Structure formats: structure tokens, C-alpha cells
A = this chain, B = another copy of it.
Amino acid sequence: MSVKQALLALLEQGPRYGYQLRAEFEQRTGSTWPLNVGQVYTTLTRLERDGLVEADGADGEGHVIYRVTAAGREEVAAWFTTPVPRTQPPRDELAIKLALAVTMPGVDVGSVIQQQRSATMAALQDYTRLKRDGGNDLAWGLVLDSLVFAAEAEIRWLDHCEARLRRAALEKPAVPAPVDAPEVAR
């Protein structure tokens, strides 16, 4: 849901063509979230269908230039003034995985946590390396920081889970999962 808005926002800075939009998007987000060129064109088509942008050919060169419409400008304004809703955040695959793992007899939760921990640590190192090597683009830097903060939070959460599981294991030791039968939806 964010590519649409991002392209719209970029277009509000002036008419652009597809390839250019992709380049500008990736300039700001580094190569963190690579944006397939094809998706730019499909998204532009859909934006045009919804009356948020208009194509008009000429550019001097052969480029297909898009410009944002009045409705599109409203959309962008709304996007920037409305906070991202945290009431229904996107499903977090890791959280789901652990939530299921803790109730599954056959699964070694500790090992799942350890695996994820090292993977996230590795990602964290990549980010700090990128921050060192990469250019000092402001937007790009902020995006990287966001990833760093998120990764750190994830590691803290993993440690927290481990601690909580150790405590739970002390209370009900030995047996894999002496939990009551699910007994769902009766």
C-alpha cells in the first residue's frame, strides 16, 4: 500500500516518467526496498485509472510523463497528515512464528530464537556497515536508522522471549508441553 503513495508524492514534486520515479524512490531508500520497474508502470496505470495522475506524452525526448491531478494532490496531503494506523499493524511474520512455536510440542523454540537472533544481528551489522560506507543522503540515512531501531527492538524482544520461556520452563519443567487440549470453538 505504500508504493502508490510514494509515487504520488514523488510526482507532486513535478512531472516525472516511470524509470525516473523508480530511481528517485531507490535513491531515498537506498537499495533497502528495491522497487521493480514493472511495478512502477503497473502502479502508474492503476493511479491513472483512479484519476490520481494523468499521462501526457511529450517531454522533448520520448518519455511518457505523468503528472499528479487535483485528486492526487489531495491524496498525498491526506497521506502526510494522517498517521500510519497502528491499530491494525501489518502482520509480523516473526511474532506469528514464535507465537505458534511456543505451543507446538515438536518445535525447539530456543533454537528458533537463536537462529533468528543471529540473522537479525547480521542484518544489523549490514546496516551499520551501510551507514559507514554509503553516502550521507538524509532520507536514506533516516531509513537506515529506522531499520537499525527495528532490528534492535527485535533482538531485545527475542531476549525477552527467551527469558520468559526460561521462567515458564522452571514452573512447569521437563515435559514438552503440559498444556490443556486446545478446546477451541465449541
Contact of A93 with B98 at beta-carbon distance under 8 Å, contacts A138-B168, A160-B149 already known: no
Is A161 an interface residue when CB atoms closer than 8 A count as contact?
yes
A1: chain B residues within 8 A (beta carbon): 93
Segment at the B interface, from A18-26, A41-49, A50-58, A64-72: A18-26
A10: chain B residues within 8 A (beta carbon): 100
* Interface residue count on the A side (C-beta < 8 Å): 82
A184: chain B residues within 8 A (beta carbon): 20, 23-24, 27
A122: chain B residues within 8 A (beta carbon): 86
Contact B80 A107 (CB under 8 A): yes
Contact B9 A104 (CB under 8 A): yes
A29: chain B residues within 8 A (beta carbon): 95-96, 99
A33: chain B residues within 8 A (beta carbon): 88-89, 91, 96
Is A133 an interface residue when CB atoms closer than 8 A count as contact?
no
B13, B20, B83: the one within 8 Å of A185 (CB): B20
A147: chain B residues within 8 A (beta carbon): 89, 92, 95
Contact A88 B139 (CB under 8 A): no
B3, B5, B13, B138: the one within 8 Å of A97 (CB): B5
Q: A6-B96, A34-B88 are in contact. List 7 more A-B contacts (CB 8 A).
A: A2-B97, A5-B96, A5-B97, A13-B104, A83-B118, A84-B116, A86-B120
